[in-house]
Chain A
Amino acid sequence: MTRKDNIFFLILLAPALFILLLFIAVPIGQSLFLSFHRLILSLPQLGSPFLGLENYKDLLHDPVARHSLWITLIFVCAATFFELLIGVLLALLMHHHFPGRGMLRACVLIPWAVPTVVSAQMWRFLLNDAYGMVNYVIFGAHTTEYIPWLALPSTALLSLIVADVWKTSSFAALLILAGLQVIPEELYLASRVDGAGVWQRFWRITWPLIRPALMVALLFRTIDAFRVFDLAFVMTQGGPADATNVLQFYGYKKMFVEGWMGYGSAISVCIFVMVLILAVFYVRMVGHRLLEASG
């Protein structure tokens, strides 16, 4: 390629990079900057003094923040685990050739197509303590035994996890299905000739070969789970008693409801750093393939 060409390419690249810079890179920088200051929107007379790391120190001692982190970690681990488990099962089902396979695929894609807030409202309805379908399925007509899933601290987080698993298992299933489809059919044929049974074929051929796809699914899902917000907002508003006060919701409350811009920025920076560490960790483990693909 000639030098003139390279300049042409850079010109093509510029608008996209500009938008990314303006709306993502610069705001991140600003958030970082803001996290080192105190800024309370409702008290403009306090100005915005530089605080150094004080916001972060406060965060460390903030019991609500610590609780929020704990809740979020539980959510991430539980949701991701079940999503991948169900995702693998769904992918295995969808990989098999059988009549009606297309219909199954369509059914599985529907939770993915439903907007998150809609699914949140849907689960709010299903988990209702008086006329929710879930209670009906479990307890039948014994209405006195119905559980107020979203109102009990002990079950609220579980409800969020269920809602998330329902919606995103299909996404995980799609990614894993892609990994399944790359496995050459001949491997299975050869193993059957060698006398391997269903379980052995899965354990020795399928499992090792879908690990990369699984890793990609794990990466994306974990990062997304850390950023959960919509479900907490619609289903529980962070309650009851902070039982579902996930990190991004807590940050939202502090920043946009109470107006604590500095403190809220510190929270958002923490979330970002955690996601970044996770991403780097995964990319190191799997990323050499990602990098190979990108050249």
Chain B
Amino acid sequence: MMKGFLQESLFLSGVLLAAGFSLAPFLWFILCALKTPAEVTAIPLQLLPSFSLESFRLAIERYGILHYLGNSIIVAGITTFVSISLGTFAGYALARLPRRPAKIILMAVLACAMFPHIAIAGPIWDFLRFMGWLNAYQGLILPYVALTLPLTIWILTLFFREMPEELEAAALVDGCTRIGSLQHVILPLSAPGLFTAAILSFIYAWNEFFLALLIMTDPAKQTMPVGIALFQGEYTIPWGEIAAASFITTAPLVLLVLLFQRRIVTGLSAGAIKG
């Protein structure tokens, strides 16, 4: 009896600890966005904010956080779209090619995901400068596509492998060309896999900092991570505005993750289970 109670309370405290550990730091930080600068830096700490929206106003008007957000949306959005398109074709091909060559290609693709960004940043920067694509959206989108492709390809290849080949055979016999069978049968049925790959690609592109820092030096084109990292105040660190900016740029992502948590977990674990 006591043992059961002990276990229960241990479990409960574990859950609370886990939730608190995950949530508390973030919540505390975000609360800053609702405080006045004096309240933020108050010593000893002031727990309750005065719900002032001044920080938000400053973040948007003086620091232009919305346009950083806009850049991030454009870059991450287009990256995701291109990465999924190319990744779908590649994944389908790899799922249907003979095993041996497919395995080699897949391993090579996996290797591409393991390089530190610094190893490719220099030459990429050089190439982009040569093409005149520094500080242009495509200058960031193309490397991002390359960086998200390995994950996309792996998820989709595993997904397409699960699809029974009889379905495609039926489509071919019914009169589809190979492309037709892709269009009418395979793609409609791969929506879940495509979705998971899309979310993971989007999050990756949204988050990326190193290349964004190097390639976009014009503040007009910089993405959100660079904006947040380089937040400068005049005399002191503008925590309120940083927190407000953080909230504005993180909230959509958090919402996305919460809405689709089931899919994300399945997608990530597909790699884990197979591995």
Residues of A bordering B, CB below 8 Å: 1, 5-6, 8-10, 12-13, 15-17, 19-20, 22-28, 30-31, 34, 89-90, 93, 96, 98, 100, 103-123, 125-126, 130-131, 133, 136, 141, 143, 166, 170-171, 174-179, 181-182, 198, 212-213, 215-217, 223, 226-227, 229-230, 233-234, 248, 251-252, 255-256, 261, 264-265, 267-269, 271-272, 275-276, 279, 286, 289-291, 293-295
Partner of A123, one of B25, B93, B142, B228: B25
Q: Which residues of A contact B116 (CB under 8 A)?
A: 226-227, 248, 268, 271-272, 275
Closest residue of chain A to B28, judged by CB? A133
Check A143–B43 contact: CB distance below 8 A. yes
Check A178–B272 contact: CB distance below 8 A. yes
Closest residue of chain A to B125, judged by CB? A256
Check B114–A276 contact: CB distance below 8 A. yes
Partner of B114, one of A16, A126, A223, A289: A223
Binary per-residue interface labels of chain B (235-275) against chain A in the complex, 1 for a CB within 8 Å, 0 otherwise: 00001001100100110011011100100110011011111
**Interface hits, B156-213 → A, CB 8 Å:** 157-158, 161, 178, 203, 206-207, 209-210, 213
A-B contact pairs, 10 of them (CB 8 A): A10-B93, A19-B142, A28-B115, A104-B15, A109-B257, A226-B116, A248-B117, A275-B115, A290-B274, A295-B103
Q: Which residues of A contact B98 (CB under 8 A)?
A: 1, 6
- Candidate in A19, A26, A30, A111 with the most chain B CB atoms within 10 angstroms: A19
Known contacts A22-B146, A294-B157; is-contact A113 B117 (Cβ 8 Å): no
B89 adjacent to chain A (CB < 8 Å)? yes
Known contacts A19-B145, A120-B229; is-contact A115 B250 (Cβ 8 Å): yes
**Interface hits, B24-59 → A, CB 8 Å:** 25-26, 28-29, 32, 40-45
- Candidate in B18, B44, B121 with the most chain A CB atoms within 10 angstroms: B18
How far is it, in angstroms, between the C-alpha of A248 and the C-alpha of B175 when the chains are bound? Answer: 54
- Chain B: interface residue total (CB-CB under 8 A): 98
Check A27–B124 contact: CB distance below 8 A. yes
Check B14–A126 contact: CB distance below 8 A. no
B7 adjacent to chain A (CB < 8 Å)? yes
Check A16–B86 contact: CB distance below 8 A. yes
Check B120–A23 contact: CB distance below 8 A. yes
Check B15–A100 contact: CB distance below 8 A. yes
Q: Which residues of A contact B147 (CB under 8 A)?
A: 23-24
Give A291 Cβ to nearest chain B Cβ, in Å.
6
Partner of A115, one of B89, B213, B224: B224
Closest residue of chain A to B85, judged by CB? A15
Check A20–B146 contact: CB distance below 8 A. yes
Binary per-residue interface labels of chain B (96-119) against chain A in the complex, 1 for a CB within 8 Å, 0 otherwise: 111100110111010110111111
Known contacts A19-B142, A268-B119; is-contact A178 B268 (Cβ 8 Å): yes
Known contacts A131-B43, A177-B265; is-contact A6 B15 (Cβ 8 Å): no
Check A23–B19 contact: CB distance below 8 A. no
Give A17 Cβ to nearest chain B Cβ, in Å.
7
- Candidate in B99, B112, B122, B124 with the most chain A CB atoms within 10 angstroms: B122
How far is it, in angstroms, between the C-alpha of A122 and the C-alpha of B250 when the chains are bound? Answer: 12
B1 adjacent to chain A (CB < 8 Å)? no
10 A-B pairs closest in CB distance: A178-B269, A293-B274, A23-B146, A27-B123, A16-B90, A30-B123, A27-B120, A9-B93, A113-B257, A12-B89
Closest residue of chain A to B157, judged by CB? A294
How far is it, in angstroms, between the C-alpha of A198 and the C-alpha of B10 when the chains are bound? Answer: 13
Check B15–A251 contact: CB distance below 8 A. no
B94 adjacent to chain A (CB < 8 Å)? yes
Q: Which residues of B contact A10 (CB under 8 A)?
A: 93, 97
Partner of B118, one of A90, A248, A286, A293: A248
Check B209–A93 contact: CB distance below 8 A. no
Q: Which residues of B contact A98 (CB under 8 A)?
A: 11, 15
